[in-house]
Chains A and B, each alone.
Chain A
Amino acid sequence: MFNYILRRLAYALPILLGVNFITFALFFMVITPDDMARLHLGDKHITQEQTKQWKHERGYDRPLFINSAHQDIEVIKDTIFYQKSVRLFFLDFGTSDADRRDINYDISQRVWPSIAIAVPTFVVGLLVNITMAMLLVFFRGTQLDTMAVVMTVILMSISSLFYIIAGQFLMSKLWHLTPISGYELGFDAWRFLILPVVIGVISGMGAGTRWYRSIFFEEINRDYVRTARAKGVPELKVLFRHVLRNAMVPILTGVVVVIPALFMGSLIMETFFAIPGLGSYTIEAIQSYDFAIVRSMVFLGSVLYIIGLVLTDISYTWVDPRVRLS
């Protein structure tokens, strides 16, 4: 186990380096540090001096990848890429380019609203989808099943934007049941979460239910299920004892990877419902060309994804004792 994690970590390094390289290449391919300075400094009389100062303060006055002014290892070390990347690996994100706020601090503040909306949506969605799929499998071959399958396709074919617009319109404007948007720190947040969570669950229901249904169907036609049924085990018991447990591996493959990424929040939900989470943080940063924040969020996202992969592997050993990590 320990060896396994060590190896995964060693494997993660080049991936993170690659991710960083891509973000750098993407950004600096079109926007030079001078452009960035001009974009951020605003429109009133900007002198050459001020641009220089801006770049210097943020460390953008070095060459991008290779510094030919030096001889030895400094050729690589005294560059924007090296200087900015190394700190990322210690999860030290530095300050934002625009207003020089501490990014680590901002992330630590904004991660909570993101979790508050993403985790309930995920958990409730998972439960609802699995339950629905189980029911469909249970009622397979009946009218109920056919109708429900058609329903899932219809649900799938509606853009999530419609769900949001309709949800806000009905729940808040017409029926005064939930606040239309906004957020409150602390426990009071639950009132603001109902609407986005419900919408999130409904918009994911079509695809989710279908997916689990197909997994369960694959299981239900296996021999051991037939044997169990032939032995007279009640249908409900067959489903929960045998089918669900054996379907765990494909379910985990799809589900566990996503869990760490929940920290990153949802771009669309957060912008629509004015939730001050990491999703809206990122989209704001992209729109205002704040490279420091974008770089940090991309890096964080990749780290979380890699953690998700490791967790998936570990979870296999948990549901299936035959799997060993080596």
Chain B
Amino acid sequence: MRSITKTVFLIILAFFTGACDNNPYTASLSGKNILFSAFSTRIKYLDPARAYSSSEYRFIRQIYEPPLQYHYLKRPYTLIPLSATEVPKPQYFDANGNVLPENAPVKTIDHTVYEISIQRGIKYQPHPGFARDAQGRFIYHNLSESALSNIHELSDFEKTGTRELVANDFVYQIKRLAHPRINSPIYGLMSEYIVGLWELNERLQQVDKEQKLDYIDLDNYPLEGVEVVDDYTYRIRITGKYPQFLYWLAMPFFAPVPPEAERFYSQKVLIKRNITINGYPVGTGPYMLTVNNPNYRIVLERNKNFHGELYPLEGAAGDKELGLLRDAGKPLPFIDTAIYTLEKETIPYWNKFLQGYFDAATISSDNFDQAVTISADSNAILTDEMREKGIRLITSVRPTNFYFGFNMQDTVVGGTAESARLLRQAISIAMDIEEFISIFHNGRGIPAQGPLPQGIFGHKEGEKGVNPYIYDWVNGQAKRKPIAIARSLLAEAGYPNGRNEKSGKPLVLYLDVRGGGPDDKSMFDWYRKQLAKLDIQLIVRATDYNRFREKMQMGNAQIFWWGWHADYPDPENFLFLFYGPNGKVKYGGENAANYQNDKFDALFEQMKNMDNGEARLKIIDKMVEIVRYNAPWLWGFHPLEFSMHHDWEHNVKPHPMENSSLKYWRIDHEKRENYREKYNKPVLWPLGLMLALVVIITVLAVRLYRQREYRRQAVNN
């Protein structure tokens, strides 16, 4: 019997040593030109009319090609054509339809026309929605349940087709923004600018109600402000002047969508199989989506119909030294396939990166110390351990604000009264943002001096850019004012030592945050500690994001912690967060502090439509001064993005506006194989130890059993 167990153990041991490794992918994926990456939240919308988050843009930017894009390497951010032939020039008209010169005063401009011409010969990715039979009829546009018995994913369709991109596809997509069933997030904003969009929406709503169709053919419903000139040209008419519109043309909202695809996806039998335009986009870009299992994996593969694009020939200063121009002029894309795996937990995510199973990773504050050390001159450098592994660190400032907002409608911290302003200022000084960044973000952030982050027109560096109400300029550095000043401001505001001057009641303030995760308890503690310095009691109210948003909508918050990520790199996109008519409670806008200042509003209206220049800068300076003085926000920080890359990944340069970097990236998969082998050798002694333990216990047990049997027999005899 013992020999049998021995053999079994040997077999198990052999089995384990042969098959044991920690590779989270099938062996067949090794040694190929594949990028391995991860996504952490469920991807809900890949429809370009709906998607509005960076996690979704990561995918659809590779698939859909709007008319314009940002230059990959150049800084400041520069627009260049993508599917268009050139960046369109606006034409200004007055109310009578007369052409106005470029420098015409804003008031005289009635509407603006953008005429966009697109490249010829661009073809869509292969897709069953385009497939036609010999007679030229669509094969898959009238599907029945029985025909679909073997179809579970889009790739299960046998035949595919393609067609050339035409101007109508762009127009069709703009119409989709007004589709009542699609609920595009920018419909509200765009209906103020694009002529006739609102009317189209009204019309479509009516049609939807009356006819209850599966599919509304948008080609039958004209949109007044958008017209097809010929197959390769279309025009968009905008009310008034809106120079920022060009930035919108670089977003997937304005990418072409073929009507055939929507027609195809509107079939009920496909919807039942979750094959929808939300899940399976149809575009002209370098990649096409082939597998979409939002709970598990998303795969992008090279689009064989891609029209071709070349790696940029020039870059920003210093790019050449970094090797970013080594591939200049070579055809894009370099990588064949990109596999994205759902990874919600940070620990496995980070470990898999170190093990070489993800090609790049962002750093959470918990594994920061392992990866990065800050040198004496406070530059971030990688630890020796990481450098030994050939890992690189890439940092960039994001055009993002994280801030504590004061609800200006609140009776304690809000309002225009001087005492409330002093209170806000005192709190702003007490909240030690530098410490916050150092504890919770390991220094990956720049304390905000005002609403405009680095890289945005109007931002100022150094002493000129310091917020004089919160900071002092000492020895060439901005230094937060001492807490004693905050205390005296607080006393001036009527709360000496955190107690109401008149009633003696302690001052209690409420902070609304989103969250409830494992890291949040310590953060809440920290918030409380800050205001305790002023003897103010802070009560932190945490809710999930949905509830939080609702609270903001109702104006039920007092102080709140929120962030803003710019849509496009223009100061207007930051300063509009303080524009009165943009108030959250009254108008449902993005001004969550519900700040209202007539002077600021007037300046904003003036600045909004100006082109960058001396005059605009002057106005912006005035506006920044107003909000600094009034302090409707406690200026938080602009995050620094740190990402780590293995040395087999090339041409990486972060671009916070554009997420379509994938097509520029190149990987050296042989190097990756070597790395994976080197750092993932299984350690087998614990297995041996466990087996030995089992053997010892078995032997002991058998012995015990024999002894007992022997004794029993002795008794019986």
Do A's and B's CB atoms come within 8 Å in the complex? yes
Interface residues of A (CB under 8 A from B): 35, 38-39, 41-47, 49-50, 53-54, 57, 98-102, 105-106, 109-110, 135, 138-139, 142, 144, 168, 170, 172-185, 188, 191-192, 232, 235, 271-272, 274, 276, 280-281, 284, 287-289
A177-B271 Cα distance, complex, nearest whole Å: 41
- B683 at interface (Cβ–Cβ under 8 A)? yes
Stretch at the interface among B110-118, B343-351, B523-531: B343-351
Q: Which 6 residue pairs spanning A and B have beta carbons closest together? A: A45-B188, A276-B295, A175-B683, A179-B24, A276-B296, A182-B24
Q: Are A142 and B295 in contact (CB under 8 A)?
A: no
- B505 at interface (Cβ–Cβ under 8 A)? no
> What would be 8 A-B contacts, judged by CB atoms less than 8 Å apart?
A39-B546, A53-B183, A105-B272, A144-B701, A175-B686, A176-B682, A177-B683, A180-B348
Q: Are A99 and B189 in contact (CB under 8 A)?
A: no
Q: List, in ascending order, chain A residues with CB within 8 A of B344's CB.
A: 271, 274
Q: List, in ascending order, chain B residues with CB within 8 A of A181's CB.
A: 24, 343, 345, 348
Interface string of B178-221 (1 = CB under 8 A from A): 00110101111100000000000000010000000000000000
Q: List, in ascending order, chain A residues with CB within 8 A of B22's CB.
A: 172, 176-180
A178-B21 Cα distance, complex, nearest whole Å: 5
A276-B342 Cα distance, complex, nearest whole Å: 9
With A99-B44, A177-B682, A180-B24 known to touch, is A41 a contact of B188 (CB < 8 Å)?
A: no
Q: Are B52 and A44 in contact (CB under 8 A)?
A: yes
Q: List, in ascending order, chain B residues with CB within 8 A of A176's CB.
A: 21-22, 355, 680-683
Q: Are A170 and B686 in contact (CB under 8 A)?
A: yes
Distance (whole angstroms) from the CB of A234 to the closest CB of chain B:
8
Q: Are B185 and A44 in contact (CB under 8 A)?
A: yes
Distance (whole angstroms) from the CB of A62 to the closest CB of chain B:
17
Q: Are B24 and A272 in contact (CB under 8 A)?
A: no
Q: Are B295 and A110 in contact (CB under 8 A)?
A: yes
- B352 at interface (Cβ–Cβ under 8 A)? yes
- B687 at interface (Cβ–Cβ under 8 A)? yes
A47-B188 Cα distance, complex, nearest whole Å: 9
Q: Are A43 and B549 in contact (CB under 8 A)?
A: yes
Q: List, in ascending order, chain A residues with CB within 8 A of B705's CB.
A: 138-139
Q: List, in ascending order, chain B residues with CB within 8 A of A281's CB.
A: 295
Q: Are A177 and B687 in contact (CB under 8 A)?
A: yes
Q: List, in ascending order, chain B residues with CB within 8 A of A100's CB.
A: 271, 276
Point out the residue from B25, B274, B343 that lies within 8 Å of A102, measured CB to CB. B274
- B278 at interface (Cβ–Cβ under 8 A)? yes
Distance (whole angstroms) from the CB of B619 to the closest CB of chain A:
27
Q: List, in ascending order, chain B residues with CB within 8 A of A39's CB.
A: 546, 550
Q: List, in ascending order, chain B residues with CB within 8 A of A185's CB.
A: 296
Report the nearest A residue to B584, measured CB to CB. Answer: A43
A73-B24 Cα distance, complex, nearest whole Å: 57
- B78 at interface (Cβ–Cβ under 8 A)? no
Point out the residue from B186, B296, B544 that lies within 8 Å of A287, measured CB to CB. B544
Q: List, in ascending order, chain A residues with CB within 8 A of B185's CB.
A: 42, 44
With A44-B186, A109-B293, A184-B25 known to touch, is A289 a contact of B347 (CB < 8 Å)?
A: no
Point out the residue from B45, B187, B351 that lies within 8 Å of A172, measured CB to CB. B351
Q: How many Cβ-Cβ contacts under 8 Å join chain A to chain B?
A: 132
Q: List, in ascending order, chain A residues with CB within 8 A of B188's CB.
A: 44-45, 47
Point out the residue from B23, B42, B686, B701 that lies within 8 Å of A179, measured CB to CB. B23
Distance (whole angstroms) from the CB of B513 to the closest CB of chain A:
16
Q: List, in ascending order, chain B residues with CB within 8 A of A274's CB.
A: 342-345, 348
- B106 at interface (Cβ–Cβ under 8 A)? no
Distance (whole angstroms) from the CB of B378 to the closest CB of chain A:
31
Q: List, in ascending order, chain A residues with CB within 8 A of B683's CB.
A: 174-177
A42-B50 Cα distance, complex, nearest whole Å: 11
Q: List, in ascending order, chain A residues with CB within 8 A of B342's CB.
A: 274, 276
Q: Are A142 and B26 in contact (CB under 8 A)?
A: no
Distance (whole angstroms) from the CB of A168 to the closest CB of chain B:
7
Distance (whole angstroms) from the CB of B69 to the closest CB of chain A:
23
Q: List, in ascending order, chain B residues with CB within 8 A of A49's CB.
A: 180, 205
Q: List, in ascending order, chain B residues with CB within 8 A of A179's CB.
A: 22-24
Q: Are B26 and A184 in contact (CB under 8 A)?
A: yes
Q: Are A106 and B274 in contact (CB under 8 A)?
A: yes
- B704 at interface (Cβ–Cβ under 8 A)? yes
Count chain A CB atoms within 10 A of each CB in B296, B686, B708 and give the residue with the most: B296
Point out the residue from A45, A177, A191 that lies within 8 Å of B588, measured CB to CB. A45
Report the nearest A residue to B28, measured CB to CB. Answer: A188
Q: List, in ascending order, chain A residues with CB within 8 A of B295's CB.
A: 110, 276, 280-281
Q: List, in ascending order, chain A residues with CB within 8 A of B271's CB.
A: 100, 102
Count chain B CB atoms within 10 A of each CB in A138, A180, A235 and give the residue with the most: A180
Q: Are B189 and A45 in contact (CB under 8 A)?
A: yes
A283-B44 Cα distance, complex, nearest whole Å: 16
- B341 at interface (Cβ–Cβ under 8 A)? yes
Q: Are B701 and A180 in contact (CB under 8 A)?
A: no
Q: Are A191 and B352 in contact (CB under 8 A)?
A: no
Q: Are A38 and B25 in contact (CB under 8 A)?
A: no
Distance (whole angstroms) from the CB of B200 to the closest CB of chain A:
14
Q: Are A53 and B52 in contact (CB under 8 A)?
A: no
Q: Are A142 and B686 in contact (CB under 8 A)?
A: no
Q: List, in ascending order, chain A residues with CB within 8 A of B180's CB.
A: 49, 53
Distance (whole angstroms) from the CB of A55 to the closest CB of chain B:
13
A259-B681 Cα distance, complex, nearest whole Å: 38
Report the nearest B residue to A141, measured CB to CB. Answer: B708
A183-B535 Cα distance, complex, nearest whole Å: 52
Q: Please give 18 more A-B residue pairs, beta carbons under 8 A apart, in addition to A174-B683, A176-B681.
A: A45-B588, A46-B588, A53-B205, A57-B181, A102-B271, A138-B705, A139-B705, A144-B701, A175-B682, A178-B20, A178-B22, A180-B348, A181-B345, A184-B25, A192-B24, A272-B345, A274-B345, A284-B42
A170-B189 Cα distance, complex, nearest whole Å: 53
- B273 at interface (Cβ–Cβ under 8 A)? yes
Point out the residue from B45, B52, B345, B701 that lies within 8 Å of A99, measured CB to CB. B45
Interface string of B658-700 (1 = CB under 8 A from A): 0000000000000000000000111110110000000000001
Interface string of B317-358 (1 = CB under 8 A from A): 000000000000000000000000111110110011001000
- B615 at interface (Cβ–Cβ under 8 A)? no
Q: Are B24 and A50 in contact (CB under 8 A)?
A: no
A144-B59 Cα distance, complex, nearest whole Å: 59
A126-B549 Cα distance, complex, nearest whole Å: 48
A180-B205 Cα distance, complex, nearest whole Å: 50
- B714 at interface (Cβ–Cβ under 8 A)? no
Q: List, in ascending order, chain B residues with CB within 8 A of A174's CB.
A: 683
Q: Are A135 and B273 in contact (CB under 8 A)?
A: no
Q: List, in ascending order, chain B residues with CB within 8 A of A57's CB.
A: 181
Interface string of B600-638 (1 = CB under 8 A from A): 000000000000000000000000000000000000000
Point out the residue from A38, A168, A235, A289 that lies within 8 Å of B348, measured CB to CB. A168
- B11 at interface (Cβ–Cβ under 8 A)? no
Q: List, in ascending order, chain B residues with CB within 8 A of A101's CB.
A: 274
Q: Are B183 and A50 in contact (CB under 8 A)?
A: yes
Q: List, in ascending order, chain A residues with CB within 8 A of B550's CB.
A: 35, 38-39
A281-B189 Cα distance, complex, nearest whole Å: 34
- B95 at interface (Cβ–Cβ under 8 A)? no
A276-B186 Cα distance, complex, nearest whole Å: 32
Q: Are B546 and A144 in contact (CB under 8 A)?
A: no
A42-B156 Cα distance, complex, nearest whole Å: 34
A100-B345 Cα distance, complex, nearest whole Å: 26
A183-B297 Cα distance, complex, nearest whole Å: 10
Residues in B1-33 with C-beta less than 8 Å from chain A? 16, 19-26
Q: List, in ascending order, chain B residues with CB within 8 A of A177's CB.
A: 16, 20-22, 682-683, 686-687
Q: Are B44 and A98 in contact (CB under 8 A)?
A: yes
Q: List, in ascending order, chain B residues with CB within 8 A of A175's CB.
A: 682-684, 686
Report the nearest A residue to B588, measured CB to CB. Answer: A45
Report the nearest B residue to A232, measured CB to CB. Answer: B716
Q: List, in ascending order, chain B residues with CB within 8 A of A53's CB.
A: 180-181, 183, 205
Q: List, in ascending order, chain B residues with CB within 8 A of A139's CB.
A: 701, 704-705
A102-B186 Cα distance, complex, nearest whole Å: 27
Q: List, in ascending order, chain B residues with CB within 8 A of A284's CB.
A: 42
A232-B717 Cα distance, complex, nearest whole Å: 12
Q: Are A289 and B351 in contact (CB under 8 A)?
A: no
